[in-house]
Structure 1
């Protein structure tokens, strides 16, 4: 199987028929499969998929609405293609972009090609402005210059897609997860159509989730393998500042002044205790990381390629 197209769907009954038509029209020259993951739809999405499905389609129905990340992970793990494309079921992504993205991935040896919705057909105030601000913040903090983190349309190598480790709401941060796995990524402009049927599942309420996940991504990007490098300096800084304050107050006390009840005393004690806690937490986190890697025989590195030159002299003698 050359290509697996993973599509997550939640209450998209009216979009299923046109979605399949779009895929068949644009991917007919590929050996492909379409994996539809129904994320606990309460409408007729499942029956519509069964109605329009052909030999290329595989339907996965989840027991409940677990969220897009879990649904995408389920579809990726079921995919059998050498390359995996992900897209939404709302018809805003266009399968016509997949052949070019796949060609770019193959010929230029990328591990992931992401879509960039330059001419985005969404509400400016509720969707485009918050998304633009989030993209700018993520690029600034992570240093990864993907233009559009929110575009679901992406093409991966199967090896990278299956090693992403998608949990929680991390589908928005797939480019960062790909970089953490040693992947080479780029983005290209893609089409984006206005939604014709159904309602968007996103709103301003997801802002807090994005910020929370961004904090996690920054930790994973910079300190996942060595958490003591984050908690150690914080602990030493707090402990050092608290110790300096305590030494100063001890000197004041020895000079005969009363220090009881001073806010500075409380601050000094708090900083010393915080420093001890940070250092202790850093050591515990280091031990947890060792258990994580060693118990599951995981490695702290990724090997992209092993090359062994041919022994020409041996070949000539043979």
Structure 2
């Protein structure tokens, strides 16, 4: 029987948290057909051994070859999940599995494609976690147009078809709501519980805020120009090419009037603008061809149908 929900948990060196979390998930979902998919992201402690020692009818373990990072690990768990819905959560006991049934109910009754958690009473250190998180949330919210209060909460419930099409590469797990929004998902956010870490060491710090900035540029490109890259590169190319032509036309007039223009910085600027303009237009054409190849070679369509009647 297909499980109603698959709980995907990604872990890296969380040996002490495994058994308590499996127990908590089991208790929270006892009235719902479920499975637990643990993904070990190349742990160097006894995490895998502990997972293998647990006798649980609904527990499946995906052991990766090495440490790939949270996004690929999360993708592996989602790929192997069989549920109609997929819930994601961290394996450090800070997320509470007891929130999952209510989130699933909201998703089903409200027709939501994603229900994201909002940690209303975070149990983290102010400097190391809360301040960077607030900065990152503000940047993502204002730049992406997806207005959620808490992007960093790992506890989320999706429809399986949305989760499996997210395309989690690099470290894009921070932008899961934005990726889902790009797929046309209807998203809401609900308050969830949050607990202090009891065991193990946190893998997060101030450095994440700077990574968010670079990844955000990629997300903005996806959001605005993924299917129309020529609108970005072509427009820039035309503007630069036009500026270059105007500069050189101005210099040509000066030359006709008898002025010496050789070696002037303005002439160099004009030539560079023309060259850069041609390059941007060429890049736009090449990427446009690649996007068409991507869609047509895999028989994809640049749209998705929610319902058909």
Greater shift in the superposed pair: 79-88 or 45-54: 45-54
Any residues of structure 2 matched to 1:11-26 within 5 Å, and which?
11-26=13-28
Instruction: Please give the alpha-carbon distance, in whole angstroms, between the structure 2 residues aligned to 1:182 and 1:287.
Output: 24
Greater shift in the superposed pair: 296-305 or 196-205: 196-205
Instruction: Please give the alpha-carbon distance, in whole angstroms, between the structure 2 residues aligned to 1:196 and 1:227.
Output: 47
1:94 maps onto 2:96 in alignment: yes
Cα deviation, residue 48, structure 1 = 1.1
1:203 maps onto 2:242 in alignment: no
The two structures, once aligned, show a CA RMSD in angstroms of 0.9
Secondary structure of the equivalent of 1:8? Answer: strand
Match of 2:5 among 3, 18, 21: 3
| Structure 1 match to 2:130 | 128
Secondary structure of the equivalent of 1:292? Answer: helix
Secondary structure of the equivalent of 2:8? Answer: strand
Secondary structure of the equivalent of 1:122? Answer: coil
| Structure 2 match to 1:177 | 179
1:220 maps onto 2:222 in alignment: yes
Cα deviation, residue 178, structure 1 = 0.6
| Structure 2 match to 1:57 | 59
| Structure 1 match to 2:194 | 192
Contact 2:135 2:209 in 1 (8 A): no
Cα deviation, residue 296, structure 1 = 0.7
Q: How many residues align?
A: 307
| Structure 1 match to 2:267 | 265
Cα deviation, residue 15, structure 1 = 0.5
| Structure 2 match to 1:38 | 40
Greater shift in the superposed pair: 188-197 or 258-267: 258-267
Divergent runs of 4+, >6 A:
none
Cα deviation, residue 209, structure 1 = 2.2
Which consecutive residues of structure 1, in runs of 5 or more, have no partner in the other structure?
308-318
Instruction: Please give the alpha-carbon distance, in whole angstroms, between the structure 1 residues aligned to 2:137 and 2:55.
Output: 36
Instruction: Please give the alpha-carbon distance, in whole angstroms, between the structure 2 residues aligned to 1:141 and 1:53.
Output: 46
Instruction: Please give the alpha-carbon distance, in whole angstroms, between the structure 1 residues aligned to 2:210 and 2:248.
Output: 39
Greater shift in the superposed pair: 8-17 or 207-216: 207-216
Name the TM-score, length of structure 2 as normaliser: 0.97
Cα deviation, residue 208, structure 1 = 3.0
Name the TM-score, length of structure 1 as normaliser: 0.95
Greater shift in the superposed pair: 224-233 or 50-59: 50-59
| Structure 2 match to 1:29 | 31
Which consecutive residues of structure 2, in runs of 5 or more, have no partner in the other structure?
none
Contact 2:7 2:87 in 1 (8 A): yes
